[in-house]
């Protein structure tokens, strides 16, 4: 049984994980062309070498990223998405004042 | 609680009963009412309560699925629970018994589960649910209630043979020196996703299992099958309460 190290739960059997596809930075939807969107959604690099991939630890529904060498199937490291994403700041329109 | 004190009721008359109640009836269970819910008090028709306590100390399985529990998720969930006088552990996958006797489990940095205690000393779950309804109307607070009563079943596996039995169903090493009191594993148990929590009943090893409630009958049968070589059997809440209260 292959093993994979989850950043939250530690070393677990690979059967506890689900592959989530290659990691690509999300394009800016305001400036990206349709062609680039299609590229992002439908096409994969299929690199021979070290790639970054999404993985999910299914029992805890915890998504994380793994650096994996696709030639040797060696997992170099796993890490949380915090390294690549900053926490969004939620901004709302002020609520309209209501009269009693 | 003695057999004479038990208010014996039919599970079908209660507002809320476990999906396993037909299985419990097959084992000649006696039910008791807890609020609007019923829970198996004992399986005493064939044995005495002391025999059932002996089983619980060796290899027992108890259905706690009708006891109260609640979860919270969101960036500010730990902070909010802190303001509600809970002590939230620093590390994820850790359980901590609260002063009020309820059990708080930190599943990840931003997800928390709270279980009521077996002696019903704590009213934490009901209080948290009420406070969450009143306080979490504003989306900006980033605390979201996860009602767990109907999404997850809750079983307790007790006894000195528990970790040996688990080695047949689970890849995580649950022996005492590897999986201490308060440890939590979110893993695969009998091919089913489950949260396993070590929460001993005084000197008796005890593992709480929370899993998808739709698979409860499957999990119950798997556990009983795995327990059979250790002479394991279902036990009622009364036996567990006796173990909690014993010195």
Domain layout of chain A by residue ranges: 3-83
Of B85, B118, B147, the position where a domain reaches its end is: B147
Q: B156 and B49 in one domain?
A: yes
Q: Which of B170, B223, B244, B240 is nearest to B20 (CA)?
A: B223
Regarding whether B219 and B173 lie in a shared domain, the answer is yes
Most trustworthy range by pLDDT among A81-90, A91-100, B164-173: B164-173
What does residue A15 show for φ and ψ, rounded to 5 degrees? -65, -15
| B92, B142, B188 member nearest A15 (Cβ) | B188
Per the structure, the complete domain to which residue B101 belongs is given by 69-147
Parallel, antiparallel, or unpaired: how do β-strands B30-34 and B37-42 relate? antiparallel
Picking from A58, A33, A59, A52, the residue whose alpha carbon sits closest to that of residue B184 is A59
Q: For residue range B39-52, what is the model confidence (pLDDT) as tens digits?
A: 999 997 656 788 99
Last residue of a domain, one of B126, B147, B168: B147
Q: Specify whether B89 is located in the same domain as B143.
A: yes
Asked if B102 and B201 sit in the same domain, the reply is no
Which among B128, B147, B166 is the end of a domain? Answer: B147
| Inter-chain residue contact A90 with B195, CB threshold 8 Å | no
B173 contacts chain A (CB < 8 A): no
Write out the E strands in B3-102. Answer: 30-34, 37-42, 60-63, 69-73, 94-97
- Asked if A62's CB is within 8 angstroms of B194's CB, the reply is no
Contacts of B200 (CB under 8 A, 6+ apart): B181, B206
Interface with A, mutate which of B138, B183, B187 (most A CBs under 10 A): B187
Per the structure, the count of domains in chain B is: 2
Question: Are B79 and B184 found together in one domain?
Answer: no
Q: How confident is the model at residue B3 (pLDDT cuts 50, 70, 90)?
A: very low
Q: What is the CATH number of the domain that holds B54?
A: 3.30.1360.120
CATH of the domain at B103: 3.30.70
Cβ neighbours for B31, distance < 8 A, ≥ 6 positions apart: B8, B9, B10, B11, B14, B17, B21, B24, B38, B39, B40, B41
Backbone angles phi and psi of B144, in degrees to 5: -125, 130
Which residues, in sequence order, are bridge partners of residue A62? A57
Q: What pLDDT does residue B74 have?
A: 92
The whole-number pLDDT of residue A92 equals 55
How far B207 CA lies from chain A's nearest CA (Å)? 17
Give the Cα separation of B224 and B228 in Å (integer): 6
- With H, G, I as helix, E, B as strand and everything else as coil, classify residue B101: coil
B95 and B127 in one domain? yes
CATH architecture of A3-83: 2-Layer Sandwich (3.30)
Each residue's pLDDT tens digit, B161-218: 999 999 999 999 999 999 999 999 999 999 999 999 999 999 999 999 999 999 999 9
Q: Contact B189/B216 with Cβ under 8 angstroms? A: no
Tell me if B63 sits within 8 A of B236, measured CB to CB.
no
């Amino acid at each position: 049984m292959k093993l994979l190290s989850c950043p939250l739960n530690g070393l677990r059997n690979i059967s506890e994980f689900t592959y989530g596809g290659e990691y690509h930075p999300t394009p800016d939807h305001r400036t990206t062309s349709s062609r680039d969107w299609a590229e992002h959604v439908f096409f994969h690099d299929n690199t021979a070498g070290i790639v970054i991939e999404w993985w999910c630890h299914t029992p805890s529904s915890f998504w994380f990223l793994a650096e994996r060498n696709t030639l040797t199937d060696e997992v170099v490291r796993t890490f949380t998405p915090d390294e690549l994403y900053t926490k969004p700041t939620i901004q709302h329109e002020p609520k309209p004042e209501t009269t009693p | 609680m003695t057999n004479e004190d038990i208010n014996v009721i039919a599970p079908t008359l209660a507002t809320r009963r476990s999906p396993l109640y037909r299985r419990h009836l097959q084992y000649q269970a006696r039910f008791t009412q807890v609020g609007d819910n019923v829970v198996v008090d004992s399986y005493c028709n064939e044995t005495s309560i002391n025999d059932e306590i002996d089983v619980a100390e060796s290899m027992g399985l108890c259905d706690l699925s009708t006891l109260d529990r609640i979860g919270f998720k969101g960036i500010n969930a730990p902070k909010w629970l802190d303001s509600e006088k809970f002590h939230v552990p620093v590390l994820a996958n850790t359980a901590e018994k609260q002063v009020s006797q309820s059990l708080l489990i930190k599943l990840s940095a931003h997800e928390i589960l709270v279980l009521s205690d077996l002696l019903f000393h704590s009213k934490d779950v009901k209080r948290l649910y009420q406070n969450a309804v009143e306080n979490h109307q504003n989306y900006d607070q980033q605390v979201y209630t996860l009602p767990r009563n109907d999404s997850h079943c809750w079983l307790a596996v007790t006894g000195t043979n528990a970790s040996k039995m688990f080695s047949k169903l689970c890849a995580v090493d649950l022996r005492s020196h590897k999986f201490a009191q308060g440890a939590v594993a979110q893993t695969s148990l009998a091919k089913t996703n489950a949260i396993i929590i070590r929460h001993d009943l005084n000197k008796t090893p005890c593992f709480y299992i929370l899993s998808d409630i739709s698979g409860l009958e499957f999990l119950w049968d798997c556990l009983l099958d795995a327990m059979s070589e250790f002479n394991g059997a279902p036990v009622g809440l009364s036996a567990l309460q006796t173990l909690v209260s014993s010195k």
